[in-house]
């Protein structure tokens, strides 16, 4: 199977299609974002997942996910994870902040 034909490229995404390893919390600027690596059970692609929810504000959930190269896994930390997603050729993003749909983005992420 061509990996871009895999279910992990087709929203909506289900946690059932991934093995997830939690990396920790990015506390940069008080974000307290949850950072994890999700490995697709079907094609073995690894996705760097960044999830942030600002409590006390409605419609403020944001998430971002990009394929991460295995070579970057050794240097990956919760604190540099958002930068790595920004450097990806493209990434998925969504959440209630964006109207709950899933979109494709590139470049700088404002959180």
DSSP 19-41: EEEEEEEE-GGG--EEEEEEEET
Q: Does the residue 83 lie in any domain? A: yes
Tell me if 22 sits within 8 A of 6, measured CB to CB.
Answer: no
Q: Does the residue 111 lie in any domain? A: no
Distance from C-alpha of 15 to C-alpha of 22, rounded to nearest angstrom: 13
Quick one: pLDDT at residue 1?
A: 47
Q: Does the residue 58 lie in any domain? A: yes
pLDDT digit string (tens) for the chain, length 111 residues = 457 789 999 999 999 999 999 999 999 988 899 999 999 999 999 999 999 987 766 678 899 999 998 888 888 999 999 999 999 999 999 998 888 789 999 999 988
Quick one: pLDDT at residue 100?
A: 74
Q: How many domains does the chain have?
A: 1
State which residues form the domain around 11. Answer: 3-105
pTM of the model: 0.90
Tell me if 102 sits within 8 A of 11, measured CB to CB.
Answer: yes
- CA torsion 83→89→95→98, rounded to 10°? 100
Q: Is the dihedral of CA 39, 103, 51, 87 positive or negative?
A: positive
Q: Does the residue 15 lie in any domain? A: yes
Q: Does the residue 110 lie in any domain? A: no
Q: Which two tokens stand for residue 24?
A: 């920790």
Quick one: pLDDT at residue 51?
A: 96
């Amino acid at each position: 199977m061509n990996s871009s034909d895999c279910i992990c490229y087709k929203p909506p995404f289900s946690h059932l299609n991934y093995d997830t390893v939690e990396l920790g919390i990015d506390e940069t600027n008080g974000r307290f974002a949850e950072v994890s690596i999700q490995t697709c059970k079907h094609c073995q692609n690894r996705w760097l997942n960044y999830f942030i929810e600002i409590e006390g504000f409605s419609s403020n959930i944001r998430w971002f996910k990009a394929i991460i190269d295995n070579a970057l896994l050794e240097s990956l930390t919760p604190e540099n994870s958002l930068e790595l997603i920004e450097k990806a050729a493209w990434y998925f993003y969504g959440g209630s902040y964006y109207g709950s749909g899933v979109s494709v983005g590139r470049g700088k992420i404002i959180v």
